[in-house]
Structure 1
Amino acid sequence: MKTIVVPFDFSGYSLEALKTAQKISSKTGARIICVTVIPSEIDWDLLPEEAQQKHPELIEEKEEAMDILPNYIRMVAPAKAPIEPVVKIGVPYEQILRIAEHNKADLLVVGAYGKGYEEGKFVGSNLQRVLRNATCPVLAVKKALDGNSFRKLAFATVFDQAGKKAFEKILPLAKAFKTSIHLLYINTPEHFTNSSESDAMMAEFAKGHEQFVIHRHVYNHSDPDHGILEFCHANGINLVSLVSRVKSASSSYLVGTTETLIFKSDFGVLSLRVHD
């Protein structure tokens, strides 16, 4: 893992995301790009300098953010931590995705909610758009994840080839923290599978990864979302990974499940987006 991007809007949730990224960086050596976006419908990057001067209020906000962002970074990281502050102007999710793609980010770590969040709302629109469009894994947190939080990870998906592609993406993180991986199949009435079949499917899925501690679980529940929640609570797991599919006709855990878990739990939720 080489590069982590952290969107930072000075909210408490984004501070928890930065703390989590710093914990991952301390184990992997990854550099962190901490990016603050001044919201605007203007595509600032394409605007000539002369035209930019016609928006002094945006320039002032950017300069203020550039002044105070390093102070927040110093709150959570050692002086020599590999964290690069970046301030942009534009549509927040567009800038976040642009920076992640430009820097070939291995991971986005985001606060579950952002500035201006109101209690009782579902996840914010910027987070939804990042989850739905990021090409790298996205880890959403409400609370900073410490080393203990990375000791166990529940990987919930349909165990097929697309799921295996996503599984490969979590292995660098699992290796760094010596994480035990809990493969989890939620058996629902609509998509019922015999336990022996599910277990065999997961055993095949885990082949080739003998260097990791991998457990296999089939959990029966009428609802996938609540099944994952119950399983993680019962097993003391604070980090769950879900696979979302792009244009898939098969049964799968969609981004909607990811959003539900972020909303209903205090877990770290790692979203992995794959093409079938």
Structure 2
Amino acid sequence: MRRILVPTDFSEEARNAYEVALAIARRTGAAIKLLHVVEGQYYTPNFSATGDTMVGNDSMEQVFMMQLLKVTKGRMQELLKAIPHQGVDVVEEVDVDKPISKIKRTIEEDQVDLVVMGSKGSSGLDEFLIGSNTEKVVRTATCPVLTVKQRIKDFNVREIVLASDFKREVRYAMDRFKTFQQLFGARMHLVYINTPGAFESSGNLRQKLEDAAEKYGLKNYTINVYNDVMEEDGILHFANDIKADLIMMATHGRTGLSHLLSGSIAEDLVNHTPIPVLTFHLK
């Protein structure tokens, strides 16, 4: 792992994510880019966040944006000073753009290995109609995304839940998940949530999980079949039962009408659990 991206809006949750990213960087030697994206009604594609080039530079709108950028860069410097990052290469960037577009472009251009983001979570009509920026990144990022809500004083993962149906496509995510497990020397708990609508015998399911563990060369793991009404509830209940430090899931990243009608268990977990969630978008 060489590059970690931490988008920040200077919220408490974003600060918590930055602290977790620093803990990971100290274990891996990775560099961190701390990114804040200003999105305002005065944004135009020709505007330069550095102030080197501006179109209509005598307009009040552009003057306002330059003042906003000055204040924002000051807040970025305050954040860097407030949280010690000795031994970690941290660079900061403030840009004017659409946040999701900028994050996706940065992932590609900087060859980012991991995005660490804060999440406030959401519920009800706001969640259905809008969704959070974090959820959109989880849905579209081409690298793993770690979402963090609460402050974790010492991010030291010991117990990991890997929830999946363990079908063939999960292989694209398994190497990423194994790397994270090995980074912390954690125990991985493979779990299949057995629901009334798709019930299978526990014996068959346990054999399926054992076959997957052997196929992917897993070590230090347990096999679990957990009965619950819904997949999301089962994952949360199981994670709480074993006092998990991290939940890992692959997501298909559905968008548009398909996403609204079907939803995504991984995105729902990001919204609803205080436990950090590591997701990987299956292409």
Change (3 A) 1:70 1:3: same
Contact kept? 2:148, 2:274, Cα under 8 Å: yes
Q: 1:124 to 1:211 in 2, by over 3 A?
A: closer
Residues 147 and 276 of structure 2 are in contact (CA less than 8 Å); yes or no, is this contact kept in structure 1?
A: yes
Match for 1:262: what amino acid? Answer: V
| RMSD between aligned residues | 2.7
- Relative to structure 1, the CA distance from residue 25 to residue 91 in structure 2 (aligned partners, 3 Å threshold; closer, same or farther) is same
1:110 deviates by: 0.7
- Identify unmatched segments of 5+ residues in structure 1: 248-253
Contact kept, 8 Å, 1:113 with 1:124, in 2: the verdict is: no
Q: Deviations over 1:15-64 (max 9, x none)?
A: 00101101111111111111011113666565472317341222222222
Gaps of 5+ in 2: 255-261
Are 1:3 and 1:104, in contact at CA under 8 Å, matched by a contact in 2? yes
1:109 corresponds to: 116
Residues 183 and 109 (structure 1), Cα distance of their counterparts in 2 relative to 1, 3 Å cut: same
1:1-24 deviations in Å (ceiling 9; x for gaps): 111111111111100010110111
In the alignment, structure 1 residue 51 sits paired with structure 2 residue 79: no
Identity of aligned residues (%): 24
* Greater Cα offset, 36-45 or 170-179: 36-45
Letter in 2 for 1:176: L
Q: CA deviation at 1:101?
A: 1.7
Q: Is the 8 A contact 2:18 2:116 kept in 1?
A: yes
Between the aligned partners of 2:94 and 2:46, the Cα distance in structure 1 is: 15
Q: Which residue of 2 aligns with 1:180?
A: 187
Seen in structure 2, the aligned counterparts of structure 1 residues 189 and 16 have a Cα distance that, compared at 3 Å, is: same
Q: 1:231 to 1:42 in 2, by over 3 A?
A: same
1:140 aligned residue? 147
Is 2:266 the counterpart of 1:258?
yes
Q: Does 1:126 align with 2:130?
A: no
Q: Residue 41 of structure 1 contacts residue 91 of structure 1 at CA under 8 Å; is this kept in 2?
A: no
**Counterpart-to-counterpart distance in 2, 1:155 and 1:211:** 12
User: What are the within-5 Å matches in structure 2 for residues 83-94 of structure 1?
Assistant: 83-94=90-101
- Conserved? CA contact 1:3–1:106, under 8 Å: yes
- Match for 2:5: what amino acid? V
- In structure 1, what is the Cα distance between the partners aligned to 2:193 and 2:98? 37
Is the CA contact (8 Å cut-off) linking 1:143 and 1:266 kept in structure 2?
yes
SS in 2 for 1:51: coil
CA distance in 1, matches of 2:249, 2:41: 32
Deviation at 1:246, TM superposition (A): 5.0
- Matched residue type, 1:272: F
Given residue 242 of structure 1, which amino acid in structure 2 is its aligned partner?
M
Q: How does 1:228-243 map to 2 (within 5 A)?
A: 228-243=235-250
- 1:274 paired residue number: 282
Matched, 1:199 2:209: no
Q: TM-score w.r.t. structure 1 length?
A: 0.87
1:19 corresponds in structure 2 to 19
In structure 2, the residue matched to 1:250 is none
Q: Which amino acid letter does the alignment assign opposite residue 194 of structure 1?
A: S
Given the superposition, is the C-alpha separation of residues 42 and 137 from structure 1 closer, same or farther in structure 2, using an over 3 Å criterion? Answer: farther
Quick check: 1:171 aligned with 2:175? no
